Amino acid sequence: MNAVSRGEGLTRFPDPWDVDPPSPSSRTSSYLRVETSVNDHLYVVRVEAPGVDPQRDLKVTVERGTITIECVRTEGTTAPLYTEFHYGTFSRTLVLPAEADWEDVTASYDQGLLEVRVGLSREPGSSRTVPISRESPEE
């Protein structure tokens, strides 16, 4: 796994904050937290999204050199007495590397983590919505 730090002056892989910078209060748990890496000719984005149905509550869209991840988290039928959980619609848009192949994108969800894998090549494609597979058995 390669890590690219912002201070090294490397521009091949953009900083995730380049398109959708958080406000100072957004770096808390109410914001979709992401982790990016590069391995095996793939750009990998992992997103914490516990407690959601990936087929109903998650959407991944690739368009014009960006990837947008949307998540809807709703409260259960019983209102909690006290909660630090955040409910509502959350969205993150990240810049993809110039080498990203928009047609070679897969997504899977397992144990609260969404992982999106983008192949790296030189040919960009067009906008499309990415299906998400469920890797763990339904509970």
Per the model's pLDDT, the better-predicted residue between 61 and 130 turns out to be: 61
- What is the distance between the alpha carbons of residues 20 and 91, in angstroms, rounded to a whole number? 9
Q: How many domains does the chain have?
A: 1
Q: b/e per residue, 97-135, with b = 16+ CB within 10 A?
A: bebbbbebbebbbeeeebbbbbbbeeeeeeeeebebeee
Residue 4 domain-assigned? no
Residue 103 domain-assigned? yes
Read off the pTM. Answer: 0.67
Q: What percent of the chain is modeled with pLDDT above 70?
A: 71
Residue 38 domain-assigned? yes
- Residue 106, beta-bridge partner list: 117
Residue 6 domain-assigned? no
Band the pLDDT of 94: cuts 50, 70, 90. Answer: very high
Residue 5 domain-assigned? no
Report the SS3 class of residue 61.
strand
Structure tokens belonging to residue 138: 């339904």
Residue 9 domain-assigned? no
**Domain encompassing residue 20:** 14-75+84-134
CATH number of the CATH domain containing 70? 2.60.40.790
| pLDDT score for 70 | 95
Give the pLDDT confidence of 63-75 residue by residue, as tens digits: 988 999 999 998 8
Residue 139 domain-assigned? no
Residue 33 domain-assigned? yes
